[in-house]
Structures are given as structure tokens and as C-alpha cells.
Structure 1
């Protein structure tokens, strides 16, 4: 048995937009206790990473923690890591943003802790081969990825006890593998189990070409929140003392030396050259797949475990991280906004305006709302909304810098979402609207610039692979409350729920849930059918392609949409206009329909607005004709010409003035998603429907115009 070097890298992060009380809980239950353990065990030397948003929060709220980190750094016990300041998935953003984000955090680490940071924490360990060059050019000397990446090129576990060198266009980068087994054992296994596993590694005897010494490094990089914030871990790690017992065992083991990865790199030669494929950690690769494929992959892995084909498991890979941009179209909308705003900002003249715009851009690139797995991610509306707000502000700053002050209205037609089809964008000094003619002529992005906000920030209700676990556990009676005792990792098979009966609220939308589309449905269609997306849509008006024409004149920009669709033995001809005016805090939607058929057309026409309004049940409501209904539950309002939707805590009001009185229906959008604390229900906004009963004879026409006015009364 040879001596073993154990290297620990602990990543601490809180996303832009998270609630203060959540970050405070993480600081009290995870970040501060770990610092205390390090202070009690000076021989435990490791690497720490704090993302920019977390550092920004700690400065005013917990400066004492920063002082304690500085003390640990100054005595050589802690090595600081850099990364993208706002914790972006670096691979998907332009190199200028990669470098800017890395350099911003590197400078912040040097200013706050007085040391250079040469190692980089790679967000979600999402690796793509091209990263070596921009990371190296930003001054990074090493990064950490999962052993999954190394297994994919044929390396076995004993070959992972060191670091390797890769390059891109001749720019080198050292890459350390983080061992999955250690990630699962710490802190959920017993201390004895961890030491026993480390002993098996110390008994290996692998020597790399050109290196006399045996490979001797075991590295684990993982989230700091698992040491106290995840369910049951505070009691396990701190009340029952797992971390202190672990550190004591390491200090007592003469054959283990605990060393930060950067120090190891400076004192040991690499294990060899390597070129890794695109990869992330094993769980993330499964989450990136569509729900059916993700479930099949999980079953396949389970069947292979313990079988004679188990040795093939390292080569059974999941999906590609970028597929989240396909799996969740709302994420792609966010991403395309970042790319569009970024291109404009990087074309700005250097100076204070560009610097401010870059800060907004980078804040909107943080990874949390760009994916979903066990953590909330895109399902958390406050995190998703914060990213949209920063990107909307970024684009508004760039647009303002590109033209003379004053109101304006512009229009463009291009493939704005990368699907090969044309979308139409109407932009004014107040609004930016993206209309997708190919998907019902719907409004997929509705940006209000004075108070940066995506007003259509609603999430589609879609099936996730883990919904089967919820349904099966409910049927078997094995659901556990989120507060149930016991320590569990996020990989547990136990099914926890934060509220009883969540399985009864699983509802799925047939298509994406955008804003501002029209539906023609049969007479007798109920509000509950619409809420469950179980209505019979006539003529494909809500989802199918429309012809379009861009119309820009002085002071206004509009898109005209047309569709002729068969219904029964006739055809419905529909013309619509979506229009925004320079300086106007609102938009207009016009509808004109003509029935071409022998028999009368009888049905209900519904103008559907999906609204990204949030808050408690008392905080969001719709009102018309002197009546009010909360938007957390389905409701109806009397026929009216004016409808107002209010978000009480923010002062947002959306007022809809109709040329023809309409019956008003509304219902909430709730999603059921998994999280580290168990299954939860999230309010994702609400749908407002203005509905009219139609009875059209052949040749009859019908028309309506809706004006939506946006106001904010700051609270």
C-alpha cells in the first residue's frame, strides 16, 4: 500500500434572484459550520469555491464569514478557486463572455482574499473540448470534471488517481477527475466506509508513462450545501458530528495527506495527455434526455448493475447538456435573448455604458434557470424571472446606446430561436415582442423594459421522468413527508413530498404555453377542459402555422397574421394584428374572422394570455365589473369590456380594454417538480381568457380589438 493524497474541492453557490432567507439558511447550516470544522482541524487543507452572487451576498450580510475564509487562506489551509462569476455553463456562451466572467471572479478573489486563483470550478462540470483554449487564455491552469468524462474514453478507476493534460489549439489545461464513489460516500457513508474505500485506492499500483511514482491522488469535488442544507444533513454532519469525525480520521491516518488540487499539480507531474468528449456528471446526462428516454436509461442501468454486462456501464452514457435548450423551449428563449443582447453589447463602444450592460448580461447567464434535474432550476419562477430581468435590461441598454434618445419602433424578421423558421420581433423603447407565426402566431417573449420583466414568463406543464416515481409511491402508500427524519442524498429512491396529494395535480400541456394566441372551441367547452388543455381546438388556430407580414411605419411596428383553416364543411379565415407603438406602455391585438361555409359556425372564441404574474394567493388577482378572483384557482368573471390583472407585491397591473364585451375565465398554471427537499408544487403564472360566443352564418364576419396597458406602482 502506498501513501495517498486526498484532495477536496467544495463548491458554494447561490443563484441570482434567490431569496435572502434561503441564502441565510445555507450560510448558517452549511457554509459557517464547514469553516468552523476547518478551524478546528488545521491539517485539513482543501479548495473552496464561492460564486460571485454568493460573495456579493456575504459582503453585506455575513462579512464575518469572509473574514474567517481570509484567515484560513492566509495560513495556507484553503486554496481559492475561480470560475464564471455568475456560475454560467461556460461552454454555451461566446468566448468573450467566458473570459469576462472568469476574469471578474479571479479579480474578486484576489481583492477579497489576497491570493491568485489558478483553478476553476466548472459549473455543473459541463465539459466541451473547446473549453481548454478560452479557460487557458483566461489564466486558468486546471479544472475539475467528473470521472464519467474519463470513463467515456476508456480509463478505469485506478488510472484516475492523478490529473491529465489536454489542449485546444495548443493552449494547455490540466484536468482533475472527481471520483463519483467519493461523491456518494461523503457525507452519506460512514467514516469507516470512506476510509476503507480510500484504502483500496492506496493499494492500487498504476504508473503513467514517463512517471516513476505511482498514481496517488483521490479527488472529490462537490456542493458545499450537502454539508448541512440538504434534507437531514445538518443533523448528520454537525449535530451528530460526521464531518468532525471524518476530519479526525483523516488526521489520524498516517498514510493519507490532505492537499488542495493546485498544490498537487505544482508538485506532481501529470498522468498523461487526454482528450475528453462532451460530458457532464452521470445524473445530469440523464436529466438532459427527454422524459421517456431518461426513464429507459435509468431502467437499462439498473438492469446492467449486477449482471454479467456490468462492465459496460461506464460506456452507457446519457444525453448532451445542450439538449436542455430543446427539452425546455423557455430555456431556449432565455438563451437566445442572452446571445442577441450579448452581440449588441460587444459591439458597443468601450466605456461605462458597456460595462453596465455587460454586468446585466453576465448576471443573466447564471446556469440555474437553464436546466432542471433534482434541483428546481427552470421550475423556480423567481430564479427564471431574475435571469430574464437582467437580460432584458442588458438588451435595453445596448439598444438605447445604438440610437438617439427618444421613442422608437422597429421590426425584424429572422430565425430568432434557431429552429430554421422565421420569427418576428417588434421592438420599441418600452417593449420587445417576439411573435412565432409557425406556432399559432403566439407571443413567446413579452419584455417590458422600464421595469425589466418578461410578462409572459410562464412555464409549460410537461411530463418529467420522475413523475412515475411520484405516482407509483402514491399508489403503494410509500410517500414520505419532506420533514421525515433520516439523512438522504439527492440520489435516494425514497419519494418525499412537501404537500400531500401532489400526484392529483399532474396536468400536462399538449404544446408550449406561450401568450397571446386564440382558440376556437366547440360550444359547451368548460373551463376545466381548458385548464387541463383537454379542449377540442378547431382549425388549429392556437398552434398551427400562420402566414405573416411585417409592417413598420413611423412610430409603430406590427405583424399581421393570417390563417385559413378547414372546419367541418367550411373554412374560417382569420386575420390578426399584434402592434406596439413608440413610447407606448402596452400593445394592441386585433382579430378579424370570416366564416365560409354552408352551415352556421357555432363555437367559442377565446383570446388567451399566459401571464407571468407571481406571489401568494392574496397577491395576484383578476377583476372585472366590480368582482375579483384570485389567480391561484380557476375562476370566472362577469362579461366586461375591461379586465385588470394585478400583482400586489410589485405594483404591476395589466389592464385589458376590449372593443367587444367578453366573458372572462382564468386559471393558474401549477407544475409538480422534484427538488432536493422533495416533490413540490410551483405557481408558474396564470392564464386569462377573454371569450366570446360565436354564431356565424356563411359570409358573416366578426372582429375584436384588445388593448393591454402596463403600469407599475412601485411598492
Structure 2
């Protein structure tokens, strides 16, 4: 019996990523891939390319774009649709889902004269509520992992065809992508990969389904040499075409000419690794331990049906910085509408998935991706508000606490009563840059690798190469030293109460004595015309709790925030009040603090002014207070996993303004942003 091979690749890069990254992807992956495939036009395969990336390919490599166009015209390629800017469809509003898919459909029709009926499910994040919307956009079938089906109780040996599902009577075809093939192609030798394909031969219409990241063909570590220099792809395609027991086809052709295997109702799930990544670190480690305890064979046979991680939306729980971006996007989508204009384009760019989550790649941990997201967000706000100004409040992050947004021609400022009445967004409207776009240092499950690294380097199997999930990493003491975890979010106007031992080192390592309960607790709030007041009746905890009240008021002007703070305590003794700020910048090499170039960390003894000079954006951030203070600061760095191993990224500068006090603190000051 013949086996039909449905072979598809997915191409995407974060919107407005560094151009050198796009060039690298083209050079090491897309260009050589289509160069090989152009030599074998009878090999039929499917392609999904995000709309933005196809624009960049046409702009940067017209010859590659022409190769893709020729393959499409010759009938080699079937194009799949998705959201134009590659959003996770289940986390954007219904109207935006339909519009984003229709926008990519229109682009494919205009460029390649095809009407797509298949949909690439971004990050394979599935919710059945998607069906009516994607069907409305003309989609008849989509692809997801066989893991999705196994989570619903299906056995692997029946996943050799498509299934039908429905939502409210609207039908959709579902194709299960084979894990066996994902881990074989292109990582194992050609003969092994061919045998894996031919194992799908249960019935006459059995199909082997593979639809995976194109970046595995040259961009992942070690794959360029394996796939192109050692000619894996060329030998693989030739072997497929020469084998009389395998035929290649398009998904649409198979869907039209074969009946479904049955019906399927699938849970809200993505691929297994995504479920791990969306869990908090300790839960992800516990999940891995349970899987190890179960054993590989038992897990593959039955455990896969029952042992699962979290859902994709858990990233909004795990990372408040991601949730903040997502809820701001929802606010914009629901509050303002401009069909087909600049607002809609920037909103759809903001919906790009990459900056909202983190797994084996940088994602949320990459400052430039978050900067891009905030640029789109601020561009939307600029269109929405124009020259209007005012103070607005809402509850749009679903925690029940009020958020305050003050809009003036030069700035957009947001405060959050849930997190200590703190500054959570400081937007320079002209530069479309958020100076508060920091990231908190937190524990990740893969940090365990820094302490459990093998003493001997792993050896490579001659029959293939490692996938990115199993590649070895080099460990350094610099990385281990960077494992510092914050117990509060790195916002600004954070209130700490400590003792005389507070210093530059314990500030950096976040192990100073915190005697108050103001840094990560909610405040009561009230609003006047141009001001917001936050108040908390808390305590100082030394021996017993001593009643302590802290009240702070922020008054907003065109490019300045005036503030006053009053703290009174019944605690006896000498204490230290710290007002912490965390500011994010584009280029830290072009930064000066109080006249000196930025250091790794530094203490400035006594001053009334903090002055940060941002030479890159030509801005000066000044904080003046009517009482003298000491400054401690350090570069806020996170350690994250990447394609190459581990990366240290500067997420901001953490700054402590230190004041000594006994029973009261009275401060008046201003935060100002000015042109240099």
C-alpha cells in the first residue's frame, strides 16, 4: 500500500526583528531550502509564511521570492493562511481573528493566485472556539500536533488521516502532525526518515503528516551543515520521489478526495513543550519528574493522554509583563476602530505572538521584541488620542484593582494600585518608547541545567543531529552568578523600608532586609482632576508589627510628574526608606547617570537629583527631591535560554534612592523627561 506524504513548512520571524536576523534566516534557511526544492518541482508540499516575512523576502531577496512564486505557479506549493502578523488566534478578539486571516488570504491571492483553505495554527494553540471565526475567513482545515489528539484519548496508530470537528454546527477538518516525523525530519538520517514515513500505511488512504518550522532546515544549531552541506534535504527529496510506495500531495487535495477518519473534539492545548514552558518553574520541574518517574515507554504508550502541562494563556499568569501588554492590546482593540488604516496595522502588529511568551527561544526575554510591541502600542495610542489629554482609569488587567492612565501630548503614564501604587508605563510619545518596559528576574525551570550540567560534553550520533530540545549547553560561572530572583515586580516608585545594612550588593542580589509591607501589596486609591493618590495602612515588622501608613500623590503635567510622599510609623528606632525605580533603555552604552557613563553598579553618596541622560533617544530623565538621598544602582540583567544556549540580557537599570528616617518621611519631588 502506498503512503501519501503531506509535507509542510512554516516560516515566520518576529515582526520588525533585527534585519541581520532576517538576513541570517534567509541565508542559512529559506534561500537554500527553496533552491533545493526548485530542482524538484514534482515534489508537492505546503508552505505557510507570515505576511510580514513574505514582504521582507520580496524586499531583501527578489530572487528567492521569484523562486517561491515559480514553485507556486508550477503547482508545487500549496499555501496555508494564518493571522497576517502571526498572532495566537485564541488570545485576540474575534473580529481581529477574521480580519487578520482575511488579510493574509488576500495577500496570497494577489501574490500567488491561490485561495488558501488551510490554516497554520500559530504555535499550534488550539481552542474549538476558533472554528466559527476561521471558517468565516474561508478556512476548511487546519493542522495541529498528534499530541492534541492523544490528549483527547486517541491512540497514535489511528492518527494517519484527518478528522472532522465542529463548534456550534460550523465544521472544520483537523490534521494531526506526527511527532515521530517532527523528530525524524530533518534530524535523523534519510533512510530512517523514509522508514518513519512508510510506517503510516494502515489503510489505502493512509497519510504521513508533517508540518513544521522551516528554521529547522538550516537555522537551528548544527542543521545548516547537516541539511545542506551534507545534502540531507537533497537526498531526502530524491529518495521520496524515487520510492514507489510514497506519493506527495497537498493537504487540500487529500482533504477533497478522502473521507475523514472520524470526529474529534480536542481540548484547549498546544504542543507538550509549550505546556511545560507555560508552567511556573517549580511546577514545570515537578511535571518533568513525574514524566521521568513514569518512564519513557509508559509515557509514550498511555501517559501522554493524561500527563499534561498548562495552557498557553498561563503565560499571562506567569509573566505580569506579558499580561500587561496583552490587556493593553485588548483595550485598544475594543476601544477604538479604524478599518484598514494605520491604527489597524499597528494593532495587528501588536498582536504578534513572539513578545508574549518564553520557551526555548528568547521571546518575552528579548528587550527589542517588547520594545517593538510598545512602539506599536504607543503608535495606536497616538492615533487614538491625538492632542487630547486627560486622566483615565480602568480595571483592564482583570485583577480587580484600578489602573490610572494619564495622557498628555508628550507622555502617556500609567500607575497600578494593585502593585504598590507604582509606575508601570512611562511612554515617550514622540519616540514611541516605554521607559518602564523592564522585566523582573524570576526562576525558570531550565535554570536547573546550570547546576545539573554534564561533566563531559555530549557526543553526536553519526546517524543524525540533536533537536534543539536535546542539545548540550556550555555553562559558565557568570551565568550562575546571574541567577537572582526578585520577589516583587520591577516597576518604579516602589516603596521599601529597610535598615542601616541596605547597600549596593544586597540591593542587586535582592536579599536586603525588607521590614515593610508596601513593595508588593495593593494600595487604596482616589482620583482628582490631574492627580492620583495612593494610600496603604500597613506595618513595619521588626519584633512585632508596628502600624505604618504611607500615602503618595502624583500630579501630572505635560512632561513632568510631581509627587509627594508621607510615611508615618509607630515603630521605634532608625530605619531606611528606599524609593526604587527601574528604567529601561534601548542603548545602555549611550547612557550617563549623574554625569558619569553607566557602570555595572555604583553608589552615589549624597544628592538631591538623579539625572539620567539617554543620548540614543536624546532625552534626559530627572528626579529631584527636596531632601538629600543616597543612590545605589545596578544593571538589571536576566538569564534566559536561547537557540545557542544561555543569554544575559540587560532589561533595565535598577535605582534605589535611599533616605534615613525615624518616625516620619516627608518628601516632595518631580520626575521630568526633557529633550537633550
Query: TM-score interval w.r.t. the shorter chain?
Result: over 0.9
1:216 aligns with 2:206: yes
- Alpha-carbon deviation of 1:493? 5.2
Q: CA offset at residue 51 of structure 1?
A: 0.7
In the alignment, is residue 572 of structure 1 matched against residue 548 of structure 2? yes
Q: Measure the CA separation in 2 of the matches of 1:675 and 1:244.
A: 29
Aligned pairs (5 A) from 1:57-72 = 57-72=56-71
Residue 437 (str. 1) matches residue 413 (str. 2): no
Partner of 2:598: 630
What's the offset of the Cα at 1:436?
2.4
Kindly indicate whether residue 669 of structure 2 is the aligned counterpart of residue 706 of structure 1.
yes
1:291-348 Cα deviation digits (max 9, x unpaired): 11111212222232345565222212211111110001100000000000111123x5
Q: Is the 8 A contact 1:629 1:636 kept in 2?
A: no
Structure-1 separation of matches of 2:263 and 2:503? 64
Judging changes above 3 Å, is the alpha-carbon distance between structure 1 residues 620 and 442 closer, same or farther for their aligned structure 2 residues?
same
Instruction: For residues 559-580 of structure 1, give each alpha carbon's deviation from its aligned partner in whole angstroms, at most 9, with x where no partner exists.
Output: 3434342454743332211222
1:272 counterpart residue number: 262
Whole-Å Cα distance in 2 between the matches of residues 61 and 589 of structure 1?
Answer: 49
- SS class of match (2:502): coil
Cα 1:245–1:615 change in 2 (3 A) is same
Structure 2 CA distance for aligned equivalents of residues 238 and 15 of structure 1: 25
Aligned residue for 1:490? 468
Q: CA 1:67–1:138 in 2, change beyond 3 Å: closer, same or farther? A: same
| Equivalence for 1:411 | 392
Instruction: Give the superposition deviation at 1:683.
Output: 1.0
CA distance in structure 2 between the aligned counterparts of 1:72 and 1:247, rounded to whole angstroms: 15
Shift of 1:703: 1.9
- d(CA) in 2 for partners of 1:117 and 1:711? 50
CA RMSD of aligned residues (A): 2.1
Alignment map for 1:136-285 (pairs within 5 Å): 136-202=135-201, 204-205=202-203, 214-285=204-275
User: Is 1:563 aligned to residue 537 of structure 2?
Assistant: yes
Q: Mapping of 1:519-534 within 5 angstroms? A: 519-534=496-511
Change beyond 3 A, Cα 1:34–1:310 = closer
Alpha-carbon spacing, 1:629–1:301, altered in 2? closer, same or farther (3 Å):
same
Q: Is the 8 A contact 2:539 2:569 kept in 1?
A: no
Alignment of 1:333-412 (within 5 A): 333-346=324-337, 355-400=341-386, 406-412=387-393
Change in Cα spacing, 1:276 to 1:409, as seen in structure 2 (3 Å) is same
Instruction: Return the alpha-carbon distance in structure 1 between the equivalents of residues 541 and 304 of structure 2.
Output: 54
Does residue 1:659 correspond to 2:626, yes or no?
A: yes
- Structure 2: 5+ residue stretches without partners: none
Tell me the equivalent position of 1:99: 98
Taking the aligned partners of 1:521 and 1:645, their CA distance within structure 2 comes to: 25
Contact 1:10 1:221 in 2 (8 A): yes
Secondary structure, counterpart of 2:7 in structure 1:
strand
Q: Report the Cα offset of residue 478 of structure 1.
A: 4.4
CA distances 1:647-694 after superposition (whole Å, capped 9, x unpaired)? 333334322222223222211111111112111111111112222222
1:426 aligns with 2:406: yes
- Cα pair 1:333 1:445 within 8 Å, conserved: no
543-552 or 224-233: bigger deviation: 543-552
Deviations 1:550-597 (A, max 9, x none): 122xxx23334343424547433322112222xx12322321223435
Q: Please say if residues 391 and 404 of structure 2, whose CA atoms lie closer than 8 Å, have aligned partners that are also in contact.
A: no
Q: 2:293 aligns to what?
A: 303
Is the 2:518–2:538 contact (alpha carbons within 8 Å) kept by the matching residues of 1? no
Relative to 1, partners in 2 of residues 1:488 and 1:706: Cα closer, same or farther, differing over 3 Å?
A: farther
2-structure distance, mates of 1:677, 1:592? 49
**Distance across 2 between alignment mates of 1:144 and 1:385:** 31
- Contact kept, 8 Å, 1:411 with 1:558, in 2: the verdict is no
C-alpha distance in 1, partners of 2:522/2:372? Answer: 31
Counterpart of 1:596 (choices 541, 556, 570) is 570
**Does the Cα contact within 8 Å between 2:517 and 2:538 map onto a contact in 1?**
no
Q: 3-state DSSP class of the match of 2:324?
A: helix
Q: TM-score, normalised by structure 2?
A: 0.95
Contact 1:103 1:138 in 2 (8 A): yes
Q: Distance in 1 between matches of 2:241 and 2:297?
A: 39
Partners in 1 of 2:284 and 2:293 — Cα distance?
A: 14
Structure 1 residues 59 and 640: CA distance shift in structure 2, 3 A: farther
Deviations 1:349-398 (A, max 9, x none): x5xxx721111111001001111110111011100111122122213322
Contact (CA 8 Å) 1:6, 1:256: kept in 2 or not?
yes
Q: Label 1:479 to 1:656 Cα distance change in 2 as closer, same or farther (>3 A).
A: farther
Contact 1:14–1:23 under 8 Å retained in 2: yes
1:502, CA displacement in angstroms? 1.0
Match of 1:208 in 2: none
1:505 matched to 2:482? The reply is yes
CA displacement at 1:480 relative to structure 2:
8.3
Structure 2 residue corresponding to 1:645, chosen from 612, 623, 635: 612
CA distance in 1, matches of 2:401, 2:21: 41
Relative to structure 2, which stretch is displaced further, 73-82 or 556-565? 556-565
Q: For residues 472 and 359 of structure 1, what CA distance do their matches in structure 2 show?
A: 46
1:509 is paired with a residue of what secondary structure?
coil
Q: 1:480 to 1:654 in 2, by over 3 A?
A: farther
Q: After superposition, give the CA deviation of every residue in 1:116-142 in whole Å (9 maximum; x if it has no partner).
A: 222111110000010111000011121
- Please tell me whether residue 312 in structure 1 is matched to residue 302 in structure 2: yes
SS in 2 for 1:440: coil
Shift of 1:487: 4.0
C-alpha separation in 2, matches of 1:647 and 1:85: 35
Contact 1:215/1:271 (8 A) holds in 2? no
The whole-number CA distance in structure 2 between the counterparts of 1:275 and 1:281 is 16
Identify the residue that residue 439 of structure 2 maps to in structure 1. 459
How far is 1:615 from its partner? 2.5
